[in-house]
A and B are shown apart, each in its own frame.
Chain A
Amino acid sequence: MEQNPLNKKIIISKGTELLRIPADRLVYISADGNYSDVVTQDNRKTMASLQLGQIEDLIGDQLGESDNNFVRLGRGLIVNTDFVFSVDVAQQTVVLSDCKGCYHRLSASREVLVKLKAYLEAIQ
Chain B
Amino acid sequence: MAKMNEIRDDEFRVIGQGHSPQPKQPQEQTRRGKQVALVSFAIVLLLGLAIWYFWPKEKTPPDNDGIFDPVPTKLVIKPAPKPLGKTVDSLQTAFVEKLDTTINDVVLSIYIPHNTQAPVLTVGAPDKETRKAIMAFQAADIRADNREILGSFILKGRILAQGKSKDGFCAIINGKVTVGVEENSSMFEEAAERNGYFFRQYSLVKNGVLEESEIKNKTMRKALCDRGGQIFVAVSETDESMHDFAQALVDLGVDNAIYLVGSHSAFGWYRDEIGEQTYFCVDVHRKSYRNENYIVWF
Q: B21 touching A74 by the CB < 8 A rule?
A: no
B15 / chain A contacts, CB cutoff of 8 Å = 56, 59-60, 63, 68, 70-72, 78
| Contact pick for A118, options B4, B5, B6, B24, CB 8 Å | B24
Q: Report Cα–Cα, A57/B16, bound state, in Å.
A: 8
A63 to B16, CA, bound (A): 7
Please give the number of chain A residues whose Cβ is less than 8 angstroms from any Cβ of chain B in the complex.
35
Majority secondary structure of chain A interface residues (helix, strand, loop or mixed): helix
Q: Is B67 among interface residues, defined by CB-CB distance under 8 A? A: no
**A99 contacts the other chain (Cβ, under 8 Å)?**
no
Which of A32, A33, A53, A76 is within 8 Å of B6, CB to CB?
Answer: A53
A76 to B20: give the CA distance in the assembly, Å: 22
Interface string of B2-28 (1 = CB under 8 A from A): 011111111111111111111111100
Whether B192 sits at the interface, judged by CB under 8 Å, is yes
Interface of B is mostly: loop
Is the C-beta of A95 less than 8 angstroms from some C-beta in chain B?
no
B158 at the interface (CB under 8 A from A): yes
Write out the residue numbers on chain A whose beta carbons fall within 8 Å of the beta carbon of B16.
59-61, 63-65, 68, 70
Residues 73-124 of A contacting B (Cβ, < 8 Å): 73-76, 78, 109-112, 114-119, 121-123
Quick check: B7 and A122 within 8 Å, CB to CB? Answer: no
**Who on chain A is nearest to B5 by CB?**
A53
Q: Flag B194-213 by CB within 8 Å of A: 1 or 0 each.
A: 00000000000000000000
User: Chain B's nearest CB lies how many Å from the CB of A73?
Assistant: 6
Q: Is the CB of B12 within 8 A of A53?
A: no
- Contact status B10-A74, CB under 8 Å: yes
Which residues of chain B have a CB within 8 Å of any CB of chain A? Answer: 3-26, 157-160, 192
Q: Does A57 contact B5, Cβ atoms closer than 8 Å? A: yes
Q: What residues on A are CB-neighbors of B160 within 8 Å?
A: 33
Partner of B11, one of A64, A112, A123: A112
Q: B8 to A118, Cβ gap below 8 A? A: no
* A46 interfacial by beta-carbon distance below 8 Å: no
A55 to B12, CA, bound (A): 16
CB pair A122–B24 under 8 Å, yes or no, is: yes
Contact B19–A65 (Cβ < 8 Å): yes
Contact B26 A65 (CB under 8 A): no
Q: Across the interface, which residues of A come within 8 angstroms of B26, CB to CB?
A: 114, 117-118
Query: Known: A33-B158, A72-B12. Is A65-B5 also a contact (CB below 8 A)?
Result: no
Distance in angstroms from B153 CB to nearest chain A CB is 11
B12 interface neighbour in A60, A63, A112, Cβ under 8 Å: A112
Known interface pairs A71-B13, A111-B10. Does A57 touch B4 (Cβ–Cβ under 8 Å)? yes
Query: Considering the complex of A and B, which 8 residue pairs feature the smallest CB-CB distances, nearest first?
Result: A60-B16, A53-B5, A118-B23, A111-B10, A115-B12, A119-B23, A74-B9, A72-B13
A54 and B4 alpha carbons, distance in the complex (Å): 10
Contact A54 B9 (CB under 8 A): no
Q: How long is the Cα–Cα vector from A123 to B4 in the complex, in angstroms?
A: 24
Q: Mark A35-75, 1 if CB is under 8 A from B, else 0.
A: 00000000000000000011011011101110010111111
B6 to chain A, nearest CB (A): 7
Starting from the known contacts A74-B11, A118-B25, 20 additional A-B residue pairs (CB-CB under 8 Å) come to A33-B158, A33-B192, A56-B5, A57-B5, A59-B16, A63-B15, A63-B16, A68-B16, A68-B17, A70-B16, A71-B13, A71-B14, A74-B8, A114-B26, A119-B12, A119-B21, A119-B22, A121-B24, A122-B24, A123-B20
Q: Does A34 contact B (CB under 8 A)?
A: yes
